[in-house]
Amino acid sequence: MGSASIHTSVMPAEVLATLDVRPGMRVVDGTLGGGGHARLLAEAVGPQGLVIAIDRDPAAIERCSRELSGLPLRFAQANFCNLPEVLDALAIDRVDRVLLDVGLSSDQLADTSRGFSFDADGPLDLRFDPTEGEPAWRIVNRMRPESLADIIHSFGEERFSRRIARRIAAVREREPIRTARDLARCVLAAVPRQTPPPRIHPATRTFQALRIAVNQELKSLRIALERIPTRLTPGGRLAVIAFHSLEDRLVKEAFRCAQVWERLTRSPLEASAEEVARNPRSRSAKLRVAQLAGSTAGS
Please tell me the predicted confidence (pLDDT) of residue 267: 94
How is the chain split into domains, by residue range? 12-105+218-292, 108-215
Architecture of domain 12-105+218-292: 3-Layer(aba) Sandwich (3.40)
Q: Give whole-number Cα distances, 3 to 36, 59, 64, 168, in Å.
A: 15, 10, 11, 35
Output the CA torsion 250→205→284→236 (10° steps): 30
pTM of the model: 0.90
pLDDT over threshold 90, residue 196 = no
Closest to 265 measured CA to CA, from 11, 9, 7: 11
Please tell me the predicted confidence (pLDDT) of residue 294: 79
| Cα separation, 106 vs 271, whole angstroms | 17
Class level of CATH domain 108-215: mainly alpha
Please tell me the predicted confidence (pLDDT) of residue 195: 65
Q: Under a CB-based contact definition with an 8 Å cutoff, are residues 282 and 276 in contact? A: yes
Please tell me the predicted confidence (pLDDT) of residue 255: 97
Find the mean pLDDT for residues 152-181.
96
Find the mean pLDDT for residues 171-188.
95
